[in-house]
Amino acid sequence: MKIVIVGAGKVGSEIARALSGENHNVVIVDSKRECVESLTQELDVLGLVGNGVVADDLIEAGVKGADVVMAVTKSDETNVICCLVAKKLGARRTVARVREPEYSAQTEFMRSSLGIDLVVNPDKETADEIARLLRYPGAEHVDTLGHGKADIVGLRLEADCDIVGKSLRELFRTMKIKVLVCAVERDGEVIIPDGDTVFAEGDVVYFSGNYRSVDALLRQLELSVFVRSVLIVGGSRISHYLASLLIDSGIKVKIIERNRIKCERLAEALPKALVVCGDGTDKNVLAEEGIDLVDSVITLTGGDEENILLSLYAKSRGVDKVITKVNGTTFSNLLATLDLGSVISPKSVASETLVRYTRSLQAPEGSNVLALYRIVGDKAEVVMFTANEGSKILGKPLKELRFRKGSLIAGVLRGREFIAPDGNTVIEAGDEVLVVSAKHKFYMLDDVLN
């Protein structure tokens, strides 16, 4: 596919890396020459130094006939105008990054009246992901699939965890809980498990199930804690979106921000939150504001270094759930060795959304792909299919079917019910089927069969 990305900042660079790695024809447009040259030297992409709202520059970038134009500059207004111009010039689809809460509220208007095909808000999506993590405080990663009917939850196994040293077969013989282990991350590698897979200390085990089942599993493994109060350090847009979500869930929220103007805006927009104007990097301020009393600390300042140090300090104070925002990738391997709790990156959230969207456009005619998700640090995929009449997978117990190595069925959604499949499960027409794969890219449900 031909994809034009306008904006070579953190988000644009991350998207370019992901899409160029999938062999797309990618063109980067940015007004800063050094950003364009850096990406064209690093990646197999074309670059143009230009203005994303100037028609001549977009024509030179090849938007006429482009499959997708993604406008991801720092300016919401620039992104919207870029999409309007690109559509007029012949781009098939356009995507705009929009972050301001006032504009984000007009998402449906932008789609229906302005013709923008997809509006992406990395800050709101990051807030949504953090809120999901707080539903399962013992988890490192959480993905919600199937319109909220299924969750995939990644748990890191400590030495004293009951299932360390046990096989998958033993786990479900004793647990009797309707969840499925769909992937195991061990030493940076992905294992699609079978009954003989033995869990080890340090594994990140990904379970799929509905909320009640996964919550019951966490309780049985004594990994469940309750979050009733949250301290957010940093008054960013993410903080705004997140605080609103948490307050609606009945969680007490306190935000510490050093910039008085930001504090006043947050206090006006979030009357039920306690907004403190102070230096959240000062341990005396943190002590005064009750860091030892809250259930969770979330570090959302503008600096990765500040967030990392704050999270390490919160962990040292015994905070149960710590979430760290980190945008840089330079020291990603080192970060994995630090006890930072859950680490989240807004640019990675945006990249995943746009790669998923692009992949959905590649599906051949007649494909029954409903959605695509990436898990285990992008090393595995979960694809949700509709089981259509005529599929070879219908009407037979799964134990009688042969599946391609490195893939498994992680769940079946039937109406409002989540089914954790076993060998006796029979898929019916109309079911929504979740397929996990670490090696293959599937566009049809029957592709999973050997």
**Tens-digit pLDDT profile for residues 429-444:** 999 999 998 877 788 8
Three-state secondary-structure class, residue 272: coil
Percentages helix, strand, coil for the chain (3-state, rounded to 5) are 35, 25, 40
Q: Is the pLDDT of residue 378 over 80?
A: no
Q: Is the pLDDT of residue 150 over 80?
A: yes
Q: Is the pLDDT of residue 420 over 90?
A: no
Q: How many alpha carbons lie under 13 Å from residue 114 in its C-beta half-sphere?
A: 22
Q: Is the pLDDT of residue 336 over 80?
A: no
Cα–Cα distance between 29 and 57 in angstroms, integer? 9
pLDDT at 221: 78
pLDDT at 106: 84
Q: How far is CA 64 from CA 3, 52, 68, in A?
A: 11, 14, 10
Lowest mean pLDDT among 96-100, 221-225, 363-367: 363-367
Mean pLDDT value across residues 371-397: 85
**Mean pLDDT for the chain?**
89
**Tens-digit pLDDT profile for residues 54-103:** 999 999 999 998 999 999 999 999 999 999 999 999 999 999 999 888 88
Q: Which amino acid is at 139?
A: A
pLDDT over 90, % of the chain? 53
Q: pTM surpassing 0.85?
A: no
pLDDT band of 239, cuts 50, 70, 90: very high
Cα–Cα distance between 120 and 357 in angstroms, integer? 11
Do residues 258 and 278 touch, judged by C-beta distance below 8 A?
yes
Mean pLDDT value across residues 278-284: 94
Q: Check the CA dihedral 425-429-434-439 and report its sign.
A: positive
Cα–Cα distance between 14 and 177 in angstroms, integer? 38
Q: Which of 153, 65, 79 is nearest to 118 (CA)?
A: 79
Q: Is the pLDDT of residue 381 over 80?
A: yes
Domains of the chain: 2-120 (3.40.50.720), 126-220 (3.30.70.1450), 229-319 (3.40.50.720), 349-448 (3.30.70.1450)
Which carries the bigger pLDDT value, residue 141 or residue 86?
86
pLDDT band of 332, cuts 50, 70, 90: low
- Give the pairing of strands 407-414 and 432-437: antiparallel
Mean pLDDT value across residues 213-220: 83
Q: Is the pLDDT of residue 147 over 80?
A: no
pLDDT at 48: 96
**Tens-digit pLDDT profile for residues 301-314:** 999 999 999 999 99
In the structure encoding, which two tokens stand for residue 199, read together? 């869990």
Mean pLDDT value across residues 312-329: 89
- What is the CA 91 to chain-centroid distance, rounded? 27
Mean pLDDT value across residues 141-157: 83
Which carries the bigger pLDDT value, residue 158 or residue 295?
295
Q: Is the pLDDT of residue 161 over 80?
A: yes
Q: Is the pLDDT of residue 329 over 80?
A: no
For tokens 């340090």, the residue is: 202
For tokens 């959240």, the residue is: 280
pLDDT at 333: 61
